[in-house]
Homo-oligomer: A and B are copies of this chain.
Amino acid sequence: MAINTKVKADHNAPGVTEMLAKFAIEHPSKGWSDSVDQEAHRTFANWAGCAIGPSTHETMVAALGAVMELAPAGQASILGRKEKVDIANAALLNGISSHTFDFDDTHLKTIIHPAGPVAPAVLALGQHLNISGRELIDAMVIGIEVSCRVGNAIYPDHYDRGWHITGSTGMLGAAAACSRLMKLTPAQTQMALGVAASQPTGLREQFGTMTKPFHPGAAAKVGLMAALFGKHGFTSSRRALEAPRGLMQVFSDKTDWSEITENLGSSWEIALNTYKPFACGIVIHPSIDGCVQLREKYNLKASDIAKVTLKVHSLVLELTGKKTPVTGLESKFSVYHSCAVGLLYGRAGEHEYTDECVNRPEVLALRSKVEAIVDDSIAEASADLVINTTDGRELHIFIKNAVGSVEVPLTEVQLKAKFIDQSEPIIGAQKAASSWELSREIGNCAHLGDFIAAATF
């Protein structure tokens, strides 16, 4: 029988729903530093490349097939493709695409992928409303702030329970961003946040299936629709986030309201955003980075390697402990496979996570030599790696922060290379170069048309 484990309700929570709604509408355009604005542009450009790359993937073919059964109006574009669909389903599809390769941006404090639910909602609605690039960046910064602050308030308990926090907070960011784009009042935006609060998306159980990338897409669609409902006078609880039976207390025991109320409008979560160099879960990155560095330093070949011993935080194996992945998708959740390709090829891009690669004999052989040991004295962002060579050497490296972290950010050259690597096979070299330039400078564009034309057919 049931025992309600929610020991006590917090009846005195501050009015964060109202506070976030007011913030979303009233914070001034570019009301942050140049460096924050630069990070917002990096976020958008990285996101766009990640959405273009998988646009012909079977995940997208299946999702588009389902959406097309609705005979949607051609209101907004799908990056990397020629079809147009209604704004809600464009938000869904671009959101799915951008997380399909698990290659999008990460807010490391919460493991939220911030752009995934927010950017596609803003892009779809923005195209339809013919907004400026400046409005797009403003709305995206605001939306990401809302999602990540809610995430900060409930992480890690919420995530530990099994929620995929990207989808279960992202609808709030998308609702805030879309409310701003449509110039709703704070009161309407508060209602929009409430409608969105009733619709969290995402279970960690789905990791390794197409439904994982579905989560940010669904959150984008929910948020966009919630803003439309708010615009048309739909009502919801004024305390939908913070009430004892509001979203946050219902799906998390930890509810640290100060994470939302403190420095709202003066500190910016998007400034902490990071971009993956490897096309897999972020917790594997320190291990891959160590493999790539040892390979380069000692010019290692597969035949040199007798044994690989990895010491990592328990979360790493909890999330990515698949020992014998069979599909490309499963291999993204395998630290064993990831170390093998890092050692063999010196990289772990999308080409290293295909169905073919995961079953390649040389990968299988090296994978079986990787042992992972849990050591919670090692931080989640770190990894300790020892390689025993066939000639008896013991090679050691400790990675405190992996490449792509806040501490060791991707350079502009690396970010561009990542964009081009993903987009060129889909839209060709010229469009890839052009859509990189336009996305990287989107805040200066009077409208979104040139970027969308470059990034679609």
A residues sitting closer than 8 Å to B (CB atoms) are: 1-7, 58-59, 61-63, 65-67, 69-73, 75, 86-88, 155-158, 160-164, 167, 194-195, 197-206, 208-211, 214-215, 218, 225, 228-229, 231-237, 239-240, 243-247, 249-254
Contacts and interface: CB of A to CB of B under 8 A. Distances in A.
A253 B244 CA distance: 18
A215 B194 CA distance: 12
B62 A233 contact: yes
A234 B250 contact: no
B6 A225 contact: no
A208 B194 CA distance: 13
Contact of A199 (B4, B156, B201, B236): B201
Contacts of A70: 72-73, 75, 86-88
11 contacts: A2-B252, A59-B234, A66-B231, A69-B87, A70-B87, A163-B250, A194-B206, A203-B247, A205-B237, A205-B239, A251-B251
Given A162-B246, A203-B240, 17 more contacts: A1-B254, A4-B160, A5-B5, A5-B6, A5-B7, A58-B233, A61-B233, A66-B234, A167-B198, A194-B209, A194-B211, A195-B214, A198-B211, A203-B245, A205-B243, A209-B237, A211-B240
Contacts of A86: 70-72
A245 B204 contact: yes
Given A194-B206, A205-B245, A211-B195, A229 B62 contact: yes
Kindly list the 4 A-B residue pairs having the minimum CB-CB distance in the complex, ordered from nearest.
A2-B157, A162-B245, A65-B232, A71-B73
Contacts of A75: 70-71
A223 B56 CA distance: 25
Contact of A206 (B1, B3, B206, B236): B236
A200 to B, nearest CB: 7
A84 to B, nearest CB: 12
A234 B334 CA distance: 22
Nearest to A329: B235
Nearest to A225: B66
A251 B203 CA distance: 10
Contacts of A237: 203, 205-206, 208-209, 211
Given A72-B70, A198-B167, A203-B245, A234 B4 contact: no
Nearest to A255: B2
Contacts of A161: 4, 6, 250
A215 B59 CA distance: 28
A10 B155 CA distance: 23
B205 A253 contact: no
A68 B442 CA distance: 30
A63 B231 CA distance: 10
A66 B203 contact: no
B3 A69 contact: no
A211 B190 CA distance: 13
Nearest to A236: B211
Contacts of A5: 5-7, 253
